[in-house]
């Protein structure tokens, strides 16, 4: 091989994608960090320039620590994550174990469980809003068939919070089940055969073979579902609109409302986004570290 | 012993059926309800199946709700954005998979790192940036920015790495230039990965809410998810129209899902990524 100069072709091939990333990820990301150091006028959707921009250093970040609105939204998001993530993991792994078996018709069941992952969160929100209605909702009708009182699912604070959690789990289970099935398929059957010959029962097989060998998949599901939970927003906009009151208003909604409905708070909203970003960054680093440990 | 096994098998079946119903019924209920007239829709207690099957909700949704326009908008945005996604991901995938060049690994890691900046996080600065570019309220604003997807590039790169280098060398010896190698060799050999990305991209864009929500303000430029969400936001929700339009909006994804079911299962277990 002769010494070649730097090739041009690969740069041309990657250029369009890189250009879009630069213009629409790198620039806004830097803009976000920058704005978080300023106070700036309310964003107007029309072409009116923002009122005034003043450098305030870390003031926006200091404000965060004592802002009950932000802290409540943040706390709610964490609570939501702490409940949703373990539930998703348990439910989707259970369904993966149930639906990977070669029973007749199981493929159809698998497709039905996966189907919600194909639909927009907006549609899912509409469907469940229709189901959870107080007087005309089908769920309350089913409850009355079992002589249980109608529940104000989307009207009462606690029940609305629970509804958002349950619907989120319902919406994501199929996707994570498929990831788990992929992981389960990588475990050789011979391991289970050997265990059976040694007289291991189903539970021993699960805890001794399945769980340890599934660890990389479990980690992936853990991180992805945590990131998804932190970003919860779209589903909520149609299901509860953050209500009743602000019972189901999470981090992303708070940031959005801050920037678009309050004067002089673009920088403040940007500061919230930066905090949000660092949470995501930590999660990604954790995933990277853990998956590296796996491969060692 | 044998009867116990039969019982367990039966119980498993029952559980599988219950699970399938829990996951399938909600959307089915939307579809069934869409065919009910106003009086039946709010019957208390409700009746499961419509007594008078009617298409009124569909007619009024498409006509008065302006949904014909929204469906056209959604189709336009979905198709153009998917075409762009497929082209630039295939190109970038090839660049990263089959060349050695200074900065390659750093750039690739950089591309994958953009996954962390999902729109939810950079929504506010994204709005400011798009406004600066003059892209607010334009279709370009919702077509171009999400067209570059790290998932797509990753998928194509992984696939192309499995194409033997000898094939490329042979083509070069036969005098093919880079452009010919790409279009005549790489693209045909990457059809499985390209199809997977096409299907995924179509569904992502068709379902997309956040981009149009941020960018589109003009009623005439709304896409279907944005229009549906707006419908819900109104003071008195017109459920009949809403359910009918929701039903229509899931038809494209349903068809794609029925045809390409295996691609989804495969695509997800291959990348484990979404969005």
- pLDDT tens-digit profile of A3-12? 567 789 999 9
Query: pLDDT tens for residues A81-140?
Result: 999 999 999 999 999 999 987 777 788 898 899 999 999 999 999 999 999 988 888 898
Nearest Cα residue in chain A from B142: A24
Share of chain B above pLDDT 70, in %: 95
Q: Which of A179, A184, A181 has the alpha carbon at shortest distance from A222?
A: A179
**Domain annotation covers residue B254:** yes
Task: CATH number of the domain at B253, please.
Answer: 1.10.3720.10
- Helix (H) or strand (E) holding B131, with range, is helix B119-133
Structure tokens at A74: 């943040």
Which domains does chain A carry? 9-295 (1.10.3720.10)
Residue A53: strand pairing partners: A40
Question: In the structure, what pLDDT confidence band is assigned to residue A76 with cuts at 50, 70 and 90?
Answer: very high
Query: pLDDT of B173-212, one tens digit each?
Result: 999 898 999 999 999 999 989 998 999 899 999 999 999 9
pLDDT at A42: 52
pTM equals: 0.89
Q: Which residues of A touch B142 (CB under 8 A)?
A: none
DSSP string, A176-231: HHHHHHHHHHTS-HHHHHHHHHTT--HHHHIIIIIHHHTHHHHHHHHHHHHHHHHT
Cα separations in angstroms, A107 against A100, A103, A127, B20:
9, 9, 24, 11
Is B92 in contact with A17 (Cβ distance < 8 A)?
Answer: yes
Residue B34 lies in a domain: no
Residue B270 confidence (pLDDT)? 59
Domain membership of residue B211 (yes or no) is yes
Write phi, then psi, for A201 (nearest 5 degrees). -85, 180
Residue with tokens 């919406």: A171
pLDDT at residue A232, rounded to an integer = 93
Q: Is the pLDDT of residue B217 over 70?
A: yes
Region for B101 from its dihedrals, namely left if φ exceeds 0, alpha if ψ lies in -120 to 50, beta otherwise = beta
**In angstroms, what separates the C-alpha of B246 from chain A's closest C-alpha?**
7
Which residue among B44, B206, B209 places its CB closest to the CB of A121? B209
Select from B12, B33, B91 the Cβ nearest to the Cβ of A103. B12
Asked whether residue B86 is assigned to any structural domain, the reply reads: yes
pLDDT for B273 beyond 90: no
Q: Is residue B133 part of a domain?
A: yes
Which residues, other chains included, contact B31 with Cβ-Cβ below 8 Å and sequence gap of 6+? B247
Residue-level pLDDT at A103: 75
Q: What is the rounded CA–CA span in Å between residue B103 and residue B106?
A: 5
pLDDT (tens digit, 9 = 90+) per residue, A206-258?
Answer: 999 999 999 888 988 998 899 899 999 999 999 998 878 888 999 999 998 88
* Confidence category of residue B275, pLDDT binned at 50, 70, 90: very low
Picking from A112, A270, A280, the nearest residue to B125 by CB comes out as A270
d(CA B111, CA B103): 12
| Total domains in the fold of chain B | 1
Domain of B214, in residue numbers: 57-271
Q: For residues B16 and B115, which has the higher predicted lDDT (pLDDT)? A: B16
Q: What percentage of chain A has pLDDT greater than the value 70? A: 92
| Mutant choice from A28, A32, A252 vs B, greatest count of B C-beta within 10 A | A28
What is the Cα–Cα distance from A83 to A75, expressed in whole angstroms? 12
């Amino acid at each position: 091989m002769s010494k070649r100069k730097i090739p041009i072709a690969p740069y041309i091939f990657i250029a369009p994608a890189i250009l879009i990333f630069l213009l629409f990820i790198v620039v806004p990301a830097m803009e976000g960090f920058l704005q978080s150091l300023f106070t700036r006028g309310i964003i107007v959707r029309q072409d009116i320039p923002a009122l005034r921009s003043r450098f305030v250093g870390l003031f926006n970040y200091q404000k965060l620590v004592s802002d009950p609105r932000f802290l409540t939204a943040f706390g709610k998001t964490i609570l939501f994550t702490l409940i949703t993530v373990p539930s998703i993991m348990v439910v989707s792994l259970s369904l993966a174990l149930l639906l990977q078996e070669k029973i007749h018709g199981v493929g159809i069941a698998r497709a039905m469980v996966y189907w919600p992952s194909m639909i927009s969160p907006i549609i899912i929100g509409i469907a469940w809003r229709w189901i959870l209605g107080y007087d005309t909702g089908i769920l309350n009708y089913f409850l009355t068939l079992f002589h249980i009182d109608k529940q104000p699912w989307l009207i009462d604070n606690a029940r609305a919070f629970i509804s958002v959690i349950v619907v989120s789990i319902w919406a994501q289970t199929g996707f994570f089940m498929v990831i788990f099935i992929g992981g389960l398929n990588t475990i050789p059957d011979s391991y289970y055969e050997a265990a059976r010959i040694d007289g291991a029962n189903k539970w021993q097989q699960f805890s001794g073979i399945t769980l340890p060998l599934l660890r990389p998949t479990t980690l992936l599901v853990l991180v992805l579902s945590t990131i998804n939970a932190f970003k919860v927003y779209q589903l909520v906009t149609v299901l509860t609109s953050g209500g009743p009151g602000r019972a189901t208003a999470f981090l992303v909604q708070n940031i959005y409302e801050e920037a678009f409905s309050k004067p002089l708070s673009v920088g403040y909203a940007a500061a919230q986004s930066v905090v949000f970003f660092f949470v995501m960054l930590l999660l990604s680093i954790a995933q990277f570290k853990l998956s590296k440990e796996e491969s060692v | 012993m044998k009867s116990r096994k039969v019982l367990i098998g039966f119980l498993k079946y029952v559980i599988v059926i219950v699970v399938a119903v829990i996951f399938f019924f909600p959307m089915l209920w939307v579809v069934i309800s869409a065919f009910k007239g106003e009086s039946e829709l709010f019957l208390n207690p409700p009746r499961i199946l419509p007594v008078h099957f009617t298409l009124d909700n569909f007619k009024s949704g498409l006509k008065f709700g302006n949904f014909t326009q929204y469906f056209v908008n959604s189709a336009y945005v979905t198709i153009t954005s998917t075409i762009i996604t497929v082209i630039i991901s295939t190109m970038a995938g090839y660049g990263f998979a089959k060349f050695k060049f200074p900065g390659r690994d750093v750039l690739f890691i950089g591309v994958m790192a953009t996954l962390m900046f999902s729109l939810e996080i950079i929504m506010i600065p994204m709005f400011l940036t798009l406004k600066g570019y003059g892209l607010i309220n334009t279709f370009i604003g919702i077509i171009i920015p999400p067209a570059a997807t790290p998932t797509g590039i990753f998928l194509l790169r992984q696939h192309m790495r499995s194409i033997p280098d000898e094939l490329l060398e042979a083509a070069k010896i036969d005098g093919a230039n880079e452009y010919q190698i790409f279009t005549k060799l790489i693209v045909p050999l990457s059809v499985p990965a390209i199809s997977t990305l096409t299907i995924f991209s179509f569904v992502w864009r068709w379902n997309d809410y956040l981009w149009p929500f941020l960018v589109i303000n003009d009623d005439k430029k709304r896409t279907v998810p944005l229009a549906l969400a707006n419908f819900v936001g109104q003071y008195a929700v017109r459920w009949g129209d809403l359910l009918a339009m929701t039903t229509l909006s899931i038809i494209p994804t349903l068809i794609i899902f029925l045809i390409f079911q295996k691609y989804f299962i495969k695509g997800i277990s291959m990348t484990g990524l979404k969005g």
